[in-house]
Amino acid sequence: MFLDHLTLHLEAGHGGRGAVSFRREKFAENGGPDGGDGGLGGSISIRADRGLNTLNPFRNQRNFTAGPGEAGAGALCHGSDGANLVLDVPLGTVLRDAASGELLAELLDPGQAVCVARGGRGGQGNNHYKSSTNRTPRHAQPGEEGEIRDLELELKLIADVGLLGFPNAGKSTLVSRISAARPKIANYPFTTLEPQLGVVAVDELVSFVIADIPGLIEGAAGGAGLGVQFLRHVERTRMLLHLVDLSDPMVEPEEAVRVIRGELEAFSPVLAAKLCWLVGTKLDSLQDDDRRVRFEALCRARGQEPILISGVTGAGLRPLVFKVAEALAELRRA
């Protein structure tokens, strides 16, 4: 199961209590107060880790507590601070307060960290309360409670290119042929059950990240099929490739384009406004040349040169990679 949305219960550490103590040494029988302060409670931070791409590490544990501060002691000894807790999440994770819905942060850079629950302050020892009128204060502060928060985590994968299309349109095959990623590939719908990322090397200096999104069906934006929980992952992509299976006699190219376009518009105007190229797949299995002609007409009607590929034979793959790299460079400049 691919986790991309969950809630964590976080409790920062309690501050240590201050000490009530008096100096007792030889020749200083009635020494003054020397109670030390309590230590700070540990805080909880969320950190972006490039090596993660799901929230699955939190599958079996949703409650986290940082270390408490140590109590102060005599001889002005301060308590140790509680151990801080750092939780690693994938790049692209959005953090919200579960109670208020307030957006706290979006972790987009490797190593970026945000403190989401601060530990309580340590209490002051009785040394702080001595005065000319109270030379033997017997009062010290208790430590403060640490922050307690329910934190909502939502993952939106970060990729340059997002792949869209009906189930079994050839998305996983394309990713496996142009990158080092090895998604599951089989000849049945919904083979891909979770997003897959692959790095495509154009040359020694240029590369881009491509995301294979599970197949969409009509009504996905409203909850049908598996697509609704994955559409958010292509919101951060720079461009989209809509793969159309030209070998499927059951779905006409015009229908495939209409359905996917409708789902993008229903889910998010931002997503619908992204640069999206049509790519005809499974050219090696094409039985009806009329389908190819109609697909090419669809492309030209959108102001796009037709792109035809075969993941099996490799036809059209390198030209596609170069075209995508050029488009991404132009988008970055813009």
The answer to whether 212 and 181 have CB atoms below 8 angstroms apart is: yes
DSSP states along 93-123: EEEEETTT--EEEEE-STT-EEEEEPPPPPP
Q: Could you list the beta-strand ranges (E) of the chain.
A: 5-11, 44-49, 63-65, 85-90, 93-97, 103-107, 113-117, 148-155, 161-164, 196-201, 207-212, 239-245, 275-281
Whether residue 42 is found in the same domain as residue 170: no
Number of domains in the chain: 2
Q: What does residue 210 show for φ and ψ, rounded to 5 degrees?
A: -115, 140
pLDDT of residue 156: 77
- Do 142 and 169 lie in a common domain? no
3-state secondary structure of 239: strand
Q: Is 237 in the same domain as 318?
A: yes
Share of the chain above pLDDT 90, in %: 49
CATH of the domain at 223: 3.40.50.300
Strands 93-97 and 161-164, bridge-based pairing: unpaired
* Choice between 286 and 231, residue whose per-residue pLDDT is larger: 286
In this predicted structure, the answer to whether residue 78 has a pLDDT above a threshold of 60 is yes
State the CATH number of the domain containing residue 48.
2.70.210.12
> Average pLDDT over the chain, rounded to whole?
85
Residue type, 45: S
DSSP 188-200: STT---S-EEEEE
Average pLDDT score over residue span 203-213: 82
pTM of the entire structure?
0.67
- The order of strands in the sheet holding 93-97 is 63-65, 5-11, 148-155, 93-97, 103-107
Q: What is the pLDDT of residue 315?
A: 92
Domain assignment of residue 246, given as a range? 161-333
Q: Are 259 and 168 in contact (CB under 8 A)?
A: no
Strand (E) or helix (H) holding 318? helix 317-333
Whether residue 90 sits in one domain with residue 59:
yes
